[in-house]
């Protein structure tokens, strides 16, 4: 072993932490090497100096001072941990989660009721085509369309004006509430520009009927921003005289609690082709014409106020209520199927239907409209 090697090991040699073989080797070297012995003594001296340093006592009252500060920190509420410290044991996580879920549920429920209760609420963008187009545009758009005159095929004879489905759900409901005058009011309201229905023009210009209207009476509409939904979803123009004033609750009462139980329920999906953006009118028009679509154009109408709504949330639902004479249920269903694809339905039991027919009762039909799927 050289001196350099030995000196590297001296520290450990002094502490006797070397393995036996190297301990012996260093020992042998030290016996023969005075320089390394001196070095070893230097190290030992050094270690001894440190280990002989007296241990001082901390200043008097050190612990008390530290603890005084500790209690100060303790009493000072800093952050969540300190605030929650007393509850840490008392409130199990499950209970906290339960309370949280309950709060969220109540909140959502209230929100939902609000939206249902206020159809004009701007909270929900009118994703569904609800807004009538401006007059010139609708003319432009629908003048040459194979728009059918519903009056022609309408089972219940009614004037074209009456057959026009312009009356919004709310208007209809309110109008109907006003007893006998209801029909008159519908008539007067029909031509108002805000409710201008392209079919009015179509009726005149192109009276070729493609399909019969759905012999249903829309009575209420769920979700907000769908005031003129009667326009956009042409299932259920008011049937002349069939509206029984006050028969149905106004929409705002159709809260989840007061909601009447429907005789039949449909979940339908608007067809993709039935929609177009404001800036895609021409394209949609062409497509529509070429396809000779049987679909009422009104359903494809997009709110001008929300041109981007076609890509906005698709799961937004709209709930419509229709009252249909029992004997026209099949017709209604057929028309609904042509208007939108039926995802699922809870149809009325035949016996019940027969009974309704006998008692001359109208069926209450709930239609849940889901927007088309997002894939585009």
Instruction: Please report whether residue 62 would count as binding other proteins according to CB under 8 A.
Output: yes
Instruction: Please report whether residue 17 would count as binding other proteins according to CB under 8 A.
Output: yes
Compare residues 67 and 291 and give the one whose CB is closer to other proteins.
Answer: 67
Instruction: Please report whether residue 12 would count as binding other proteins according to CB under 8 A.
Output: yes
Instruction: Please report whether residue 37 would count as binding other proteins according to CB under 8 A.
Output: no
CA-to-CA separations, 193 to 117, 159, 161, 241, in angstroms, rounded: 26, 19, 13, 24
Question: What per-residue string of b and e applies to 6-22 under the rule 16 or more CB within 10 Å gives b?
Answer: bbebbeebbeeebeeee
Compare residues 17 and 192 and give the one whose CB is closer to other proteins.
Answer: 17
Give the residue, chosen from 16, 21, 59, 93, that forms a contact with other proteins under the rule CB under 8 A: 59
- Contact predicate 154/214, CB 8 Å: no
Instruction: Please report whether residue 79 would count as binding other proteins according to CB under 8 A.
Output: no
Instruction: Please report whether residue 83 would count as binding other proteins according to CB under 8 A.
Output: no
- Contact predicate 268/371, CB 8 Å: no
| Subset of residues 125 to 184 that bind other proteins, contact rule: CB under 8 A | none
Give the residue, chosen from 27, 42, 100, 304, that forms a contact with other proteins under the rule CB under 8 A: 42
Cα–Cα distance measured from residue 258 to residue 112, given in angstroms and rounded to the nearest whole number:
14
Site size toward other proteins (CB under 8 A) is 34
Instruction: Please report whether residue 327 would count as binding other proteins according to CB under 8 A.
Output: no
Residues linked to residue 221 through DSSP beta bridges, in sequence order: 320
Instruction: Please report whether residue 112 would count as binding other proteins according to CB under 8 A.
Output: no
CA-to-CA separations, 368 to 120, 245, 333, 335, 372, in angstroms, rounded: 18, 24, 13, 15, 13
Compare residues 53 and 258 and give the one whose CB is closer to other proteins.
Answer: 53
Largest CA distance in the chain: 130
Cα–Cα distance measured from residue 195 to residue 132, given in angstroms and rounded to the nearest whole number:
6
Shortest distance (Å) from residue 65 CB to other proteins: 6
- Contact predicate 124/223, CB 8 Å: yes
Instruction: Please report whether residue 4 would count as binding other proteins according to CB under 8 A.
Output: no
Instruction: Please report whether residue 70 would count as binding other proteins according to CB under 8 A.
Output: yes
Compare residues 53 and 93 and give the one whose CB is closer to other proteins.
Answer: 53
> What's the helix, strand, coil split of the chain in %, to 5?
50, 10, 40
Instruction: Please report whether residue 2 would count as binding other proteins according to CB under 8 A.
Output: no
- Contact predicate 199/151, CB 8 Å: no
Give the residue, chosen from 76, 81, 358, 376, that forms a contact with other proteins under the rule CB under 8 A: 81
* Site of interaction with other proteins (CB under 8 A): 8, 10-12, 17, 42-43, 45-47, 49-51, 53-59, 62-63, 65-67, 69-71, 73-74, 81, 85-86, 88
């Amino acid at each position: 072993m050289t001196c350099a090697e030995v000196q590297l090991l001296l520290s450990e040699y002094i502490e006797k932490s070397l393995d036996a073989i190297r301990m012996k080797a260093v020992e042998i070297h030290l016996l023969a090497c005075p320089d390394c012995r001196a070095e070893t003594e230097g190290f030992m001296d050094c270690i001894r100096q440190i280990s002989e340093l007296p241990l001082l006592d901390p200043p008097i009252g050190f612990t008390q001072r530290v603890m005084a500060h500790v209690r100060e920190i303790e009493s000072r509420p800093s952050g969540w941990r300190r605030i929650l410290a007393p509850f840490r044991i008392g409130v199990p996580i499950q209970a906290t989660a339960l309370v949280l879920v309950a709060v969220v549920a109540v909140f959502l429920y209230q929100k939902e009721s609000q939206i249902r209760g206020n159809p004009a609420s701007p909270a929900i963008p009118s994703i569904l085509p609800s807004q009538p187009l401006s007059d010139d545009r609708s003319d432009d758009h629908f003048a040459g369309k194979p728009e059918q005159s519903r009056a022609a095929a309408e089972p219940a004879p009614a004037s074209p004006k009456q057959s026009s489905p312009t009356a919004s759900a709310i208007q209809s409901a309110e109008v109907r509430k006003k007893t006998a005058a209801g029909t008159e009011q519908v008539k007067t309201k029909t031509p108002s520009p805000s409710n201008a229905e392209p079919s009015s023009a179509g009726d005149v210009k192109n009276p070729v009927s493609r399909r019969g209207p759905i012999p249903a009476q829309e009575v209420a509409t769920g979700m907000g921003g769908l005031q003129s939904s009667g326009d956009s979803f042409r299932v259920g123009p008011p049937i002349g005289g069939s509206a029984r004033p006050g028969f149905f609750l106004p929409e705002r009462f159709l809260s989840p609690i007061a909601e009447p139980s429907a005789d039949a329920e449909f979940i339908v999906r608007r067809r993709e082709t039935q929609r177009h953006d404001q800036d895609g009118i021409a394209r949609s028009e062409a497509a529509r014409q070429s396809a000779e679509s049987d679909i009422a154009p009104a359903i494809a109408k997009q709110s001008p106020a929300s041109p981007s709504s076609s890509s906005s949330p698709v799961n937004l639902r709209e709930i419509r209520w229709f009252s249909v004479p029992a004997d026209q249920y099949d017709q209604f269903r057929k028309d609904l199927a042509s208007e939108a694809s039926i995802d699922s339905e809870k149809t009325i039991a035949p016996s019940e239907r027969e009974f309704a027919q006998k008692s001359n009762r109208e069926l209450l039909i709930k239609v849940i409209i889901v927007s088309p799927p997002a894939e585009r």
